[in-house]
Amino acid sequence: MTDIKIYAIWDAGVRRFHWINVLCIIGLIAIGVVILNAKLLGVSVEGKILLKTIHVWIGYVFALNLSWRIIWAFIGGRYSRWSAFLPFRQGYIKETRDYISNFSSGQAKQYLGHNPLGRLAVTLLIFLLFVQAVTGLVLAGTDIYYPPLGSWIANWIAAPGIDPATLVPYSKELYDEEAYKAMRAFRKPFITIHYYGFYTLLLFIVVHISAVVITELKEGGNLISAMFTGKKILTKSPEDE
C-alpha cells in the first residue's frame, strides 16, 4: 500500500520571494522587449526614457527581493538554505547520476527539497538573476542617472558649467564629449552582459517551467501547488528527510 504523507517544505519567505520574482520578471521582460525594439516600434525619445524609468523602478523591487532571498538563504527554514540546494556537497555527482537513471527507468526518487537537478537549476537561476540585477543597476546609472551610481556618472560626464543634478538622458549638449565617450566605453560590457543575460534567462524560464511540469508528472510531489501552499505530498520515503 502507498504511504502518502504531507510535509511543510517551502516557508512563507521562499513562496513570497518566488511570486514577487515572477511578477517582476514578467514586467522587466515585457518592457525590456519594447526597449530592444524601440526603433522598430517608433517609440519617441521621451517614450524611451519613460520605458527605461519604469523598467528601473521594477528593477529596484526585483533587486531588493533578490537581495532579501540571498539573506534568507542564510537564516530561513531548512529547505530555503544554501546548504539545502547548492550543488557542491560531497557525493553530488553520484547522487545526480543515480537520480537520472532512476528517473529514466520510471522509478523516480522523491525529495522534500529540490532533487539534484533542481539544485543545479536553482543555483544557476539565482546566479543569472544576480548578474541581471548588478548589470541593470549599473545601467540605471549610465542611462538615466538613477541610483546607486547615477550621481557619480552625472558628475563624471556633465559639461563644464552644467549642474550634474540637471542632466537628462539623450541631451548631448549637456555632456562633456570626451567624458561621455569614456562613460559609454565603461557601460559597454554591462549592456552586453545584460542583453545576453536576458536571452539566457528566457531559455532558463522555458527549461524551468518544462522541468517542473515533467517532474510533477513523472515523480509526483505536487511541485507546482507546493509553491503556493508550501506543502508537498509524497508517496515514497524522501531521500533528504
Q: Footprint of ligand HEM on this chain (CB under 6 A)?
A: 25, 28-29, 32, 35-36, 52, 55-56, 59-60, 62-63, 129, 132-133, 136-137, 139-140, 143, 191, 194-195, 198, 201
CB 129 within 8 A of CB 21: yes
| Distance separating alpha carbons of residues 233 and 224, to the nearest angstrom | 11
Answer whether 21's CB lies under 8 Å from 86's CB.
no
Q: Cα–Cα distance between 215 and 15 in angstroms, integer? A: 19
Which helix (H) or strand (E) segment is 233 a member of?
strand 231-234
Considering the complex, what minimum distance in angstroms separates the CB of residue 211 from ligand HEM? 19
* Nearest residue relative to ligand HEM (C-beta): 136
Nearer to ligand HEM, 55 or 119 (CB): 55
Q: How far apart are CA 152 and CA 157, in angstroms?
A: 9
> Which residue, 104 or 192, has its beta carbon nearer to ligand HEM?
192
Closer by beta carbon to ligand HEM, 86 or else 128: 128
| Per-residue cell: 55 | 523598467
CB-based contact 232:222 (threshold 8 Å): yes
Minimum gap (Å) between residue 116 Cβ and ligand HEM: 25
CB of 69 to ligand HEM, least distance (A): 13
| Run of H or E residues at 138 | helix 116-144
- Residue 7 or 60: the one with the smaller Cβ distance to ligand HEM is 60
Candidates 176, 48, 189; CA nearest to 167 is 176
Which of residues 55 and 232 has its CB atom nearest to ligand HEM in the complex?
55
Minimum CB distance to ligand HEM, residue 52 (Å): 5
CB of 193 to ligand HEM, least distance (A): 10
The torsion defined by the Cα of 191, 197, 198 and 201, in degrees rounded to 10, comes to: -170
Select 128 or 233, whichever has its Cβ closest to ligand HEM: 128
Shortest reach from residue 78's CB to ligand HEM, in Å: 27
